[in-house]
Structure 1
Amino acid sequence: MDHPELLLYFFGVALLYSSAGFGGGSSYLAILVLFDLAMFQVRSTALLCNIVVVAGSVYLFYRSGWLDFRRAAPLALTSIPAAFIGGWLPIEPTLFYLLLGISLLSAALLMWFQPRLPVEGTPKKGAGWLGPLIGGGIGFLSGMVGIGGGIFLAPVLYFIRWDIPKRIAAVAAFFILVNSISGMLGQMTNPAFKIEWAFSLYLMLAVLAGGQIGVRLTINKLSPASIKRITALLIFLVGIRLLLH
């Protein structure tokens, strides 16, 4: 495959992100954009890699009892059709890169300033009427740019004190999974859809390995806060580069 170094980059991203319940879509996009790949290849590859990583995370969270589908439903029910529409909508490359740049900058700031919630904190019972609005809005944007949206959802849930961190990570992983699948299906219905399956398959295998290791091992050399800060800085720089370009 061209650019074999992408295998190492994607493996590392999946390893880091999966340990926090994320798929890594924003970083996959950032990396692929730096290699000047076609817009549709960038969006579809990022979503496929997201699906591979978070599918394993969702299974482990559910098996461990941290994922409550009833509480996740209000967020997912509106995000699924919204992500499909976002993925289906025709989008000009200029608008795509503008939205992607703004999304990456927003994601970086949300990661950097993400509020903390003590594990012992008393969780709220739910997001109420905000749940469908939050899910639909994030789902639509995620489908358009080619991410799962967990990187936007988690800080919002922390802010409204939706629940304890492990349950927020679990619902974020589930949110990413359903949005990525829906957004991918939406892209595939677009007549302009195109993907190099051989290229994407190599990257999917790399993130499968990284993701499975990440959700099972504790990263000792860097604290979760340090990982988030480093990732946020890299995403921010790529977002700036896109907007200037």
Structure 2
Amino acid sequence: MDASQLILIVSFFCIALVYASVGFGGGSSYLAMLAQPMFMLTQGIIRPAALLCNIIVVTSGTIIFYREGKIAWKEVWPFLVVSVPMAYMGGFWKLKDDTFFVLLGFTLLVAAIVLWIQPEKINTLGKNYNTTGINIALGGSIGFLSGLVSIGGGIFLSPVLHFLRWADARKISALASLFILVNSISGLAGQFQAGLPEIQWTFILPLLAAVFLGGQIGSRLGARKFNPLYIKRITAVLILVAAVNILKDHL
């Protein structure tokens, strides 16, 4: 195990621990770390690794939300019916390395802005948003981007639903977890179909173990240990720095 892999393992553990304690997945941060020029990883390694980490992180949360009754299929199906095949298409789409990193850099820039401006609390009083067509279009567009850059999609879906006052914060988090899970699986399936992934299990398995352990510990610490707003703001700054570093190297 070399120094760069050790840095990634420790970083992934810490990210998962903090994110899980406040109910987040952390997929954008894993992706931002993997794409840093210092690690010299190709998109064939980065894209499947990020999606596998997403799957590990959000699976348990999705199960918990479902058991709590926060996932109602009649409410969430419009977000998934098109997003799943679109995520598959995004995963199947082969990009040149420079194109991938530039697209990823700009996607992370937008993600950083979205994280920074997202409010801490959502007022759902007077909500009147329930348009199936918009939900389908929203899910499909974010799903395609999820498969294309392996970012999960929850980081974009959740703020939009908060802004539209779709539901209370807990239900939105539940939908975001499910959305990330199914689209990560679909995007990964598309990558395998296209023959894209360069799965190096000696590299990926320690990262998955770090994410799993960090997530389990973080979920047991509970949200009282960390302020969600502070985590979002700190993460936004870190993702912004990572995005600038990626773009600087590939533009």
Q: Calculate the TM-score normalised by the size of structure 2.
A: 0.92
Partner of 2:31: 29
Partner of 1:7: 9
| Partner amino acid, structure 1, of 2:25 | G
Structure 1 counterpart of 2:125, from 112, 121, 127: 121
Partner of 2:94: 90
Superposed structure 1 runs of 4+ greater than 4 Å apart: 122-125
Count of paired positions: 245
Identify if the C-alpha distance between structure 1 residues 70 and 217 changes in structure 2 by more than 3 Å, giving closer, same or farther.
farther
1:134-184 Cα shifts (integer Å, max 9, x gaps): 000000011010121000100010111100101100100000000100000
Contact 1:22 1:172 in 2 (8 A): no
Compute the displacement of 1:111 (Å). 0.4
Partner of 2:218: 214
Contact 2:120 2:229 in 1 (8 A): no
1 CA distance for matches of 2:126 and 2:175? 17
Compute the displacement of 1:119 (Å). 6.4
Contact 2:62 2:174 in 1 (8 A): yes
2 CA distance for matches of 1:20 and 1:99? 28
Identify if the C-alpha distance between structure 1 residues 123 and 8 changes in structure 2 by more than 3 Å, giving closer, same or farther.
farther
1 CA distance for matches of 2:15 and 2:6? 15
Determine whether 1:101 maps to 2:105: yes
2 CA distance for matches of 1:69 and 1:16? 29
1:1-245 residue pairs with structure 2 within 5 A? 1-2=1-2, 3-34=5-36, 35-118=39-122, 121=125, 123-124=127-128, 126-245=130-249
- Greater fraction of residues in helix: 2
Contact 1:21 1:172 in 2 (8 A): no
- Calculate percent identity across the aligned residue pairs: 46
Query: Unaligned regions of 5+ residues in structure 2, if any?
Result: none
CA RMSD of aligned residues (A): 1.7
Does 95-104 or 110-119 show the bigger shift?
110-119
Query: Unaligned regions of 5+ residues in structure 1, if any?
Result: none
| Partner amino acid, structure 2, of 1:180 | S
| Partner amino acid, structure 1, of 2:15 | V
| Partner amino acid, structure 1, of 2:91 | G
Contact 1:117 1:164 in 2 (8 A): no
SS in 2 for 1:132: helix
Does 110-119 or 88-97 show the bigger shift?
110-119
1 CA distance for matches of 2:167 and 2:22? 15
2 CA distance for matches of 1:69 and 1:129? 16
Compute the displacement of 1:129 (Å). 1.4
Contact 1:84 1:182 in 2 (8 A): yes
1:75-104 Cα shifts (integer Å, max 9, x gaps): 011110000000001100111011100110
| Partner amino acid, structure 1, of 2:245 | R
SS in 1 for 2:205: helix
Does 9-18 or 172-181 show the bigger shift?
9-18
Contact 2:47 2:197 in 1 (8 A): no
Q: Calculate the TM-score normalised by the size of structure 1.
A: 0.94
Identify if the C-alpha distance between structure 1 residues 226 and 11 changes in structure 2 by more than 3 Å, giving closer, same or farther.
same
